[in-house]
Amino acid sequence: MPGRLRSRLRKRLDAPDKGAFWLYASPWIVGFAIFSVYPIVYSLFLAFNEWNIIGDKVWVGTENFETMVADPLFWQSLKVTGVYTLFAVPLGVIMALALAMLLNQRVRGVNIFRTIFYIPSVISGVAAAMLWAWIFNPEFGVMNAGLGLLGIEGPKWLFAQEWVIPALVIMSLWSVGGSMIIYLAALQGVPTELYEAARVDGAGWWSRFWHVTLPQISPVIFFTLITGMINTFQTFTQAYVMTNGGPQNASLFFGLYLYNNAFRYLKMGYASALAWTLLLIVLLLTLVVFVTARFWVHYDTDATGGW
């Protein structure tokens, strides 16, 4: 009898208390349902309605999506966002990796430089936008002043249609410190014996980088590529603060156009349709990267042959 009682007590103590679990998890579950699930589902409902926030909702079916196809500003915003992503993401990956490799050296004071390069990535987006608006000012900005010292006449940057996107791409490179830290951790995780074996085989610097470093950190490149692409398609703060979509819609990002329709024109139904279209576009591009990843992303296998 004492043995059975001891066994029952042990089972009761080892068994998870489901009631306590749901009790402690309920604040997060309720918050997630109210502030995440409900808005997502409701926005899908609004995408098939016409609603100006004040009046009643009117069911219009797929009219918002049909309007989108014929809307030139929709295509302009998609073009601007796509071009920005096409340049900002690869350049961000290259610059972050280059900085990580430089800061992976064993030199005195390297931690100070790591901190200096990382700090810009934690500065508020609005503060950074205001700073770069001053830097790109064609009359008294630092950028044109520096070019002037070299005898080069600087462009109008944010005030010129052909230069506004390059200016914003340059600005995006200022905050690669977050990705740099991730690459730095990945580089320090590459087994040193692989480099030693490559040196024994006579491999030079470039060969070691191409055949050892890149394959070993390719999962991290894959991660930063996906997150960078998602982030650039959601670009809003820079355009809202620095250009407001100008000049002549040359910096009308998709996120800014969505915001204008929702809160400036009060076309909440059309804005919801834009939001879901953006989700589908990002999802499609992400799937493309995932499908192609098997050709260039390398994962080490364990001793049992599994991934």
Identity of the residue numbered 266 = L
Encoded tokens for 1: 């009898």
3-state SS assignment for residue 40: helix
Q: Which burial class, exposed, middle or buried, applies to 78 when counting CB atoms under 10 A from its CB (0-12, 13-18, 19+)? A: buried
Q: Please state the rounded mean pLDDT for residues 273-290.
A: 96
Sign of CA dihedral 82, 83, 85, 90: positive
223-248 per-position pLDDT tens digit: 999 999 999 999 999 999 999 998 99
Backbone angles phi and psi of 189, in degrees to 5: -95, -5
For the chain, the C-alpha Rg in angstroms (whole number) is 26
User: For residues 81 and 254, is the Cβ–Cβ distance under 8 A?
Assistant: yes
pLDDT of 165 above 90:
yes
Q: Please state the rounded mean pLDDT for residues 64-81.
A: 96
Identity of the residue numbered 195 = Y
Euclidean distance between CA atoms 231 and 147, whole angstroms: 30
3-state SS assignment for residue 115: helix
Q: In the chain, what are the helix, strand and coil shares in percent, each to the nearest 5?
A: 75, 0, 25
Q: Most distant CA pair in the chain: distance in Å?
A: 96
- Measured at the CA of 130, the angle between CA 128 and CA 132, to 5 degrees, comes to 70
152-164 per-position pLDDT tens digit: 998 999 999 999 9
286-301 per-position pLDDT tens digit: 999 999 999 999 887 5
Sign of CA dihedral 281, 286, 287, 291: positive
196-210 per-position pLDDT tens digit: 999 988 889 999 999
CA distance readout (Å), 241 to 57, 124, 125, 283: 32, 12, 9, 27
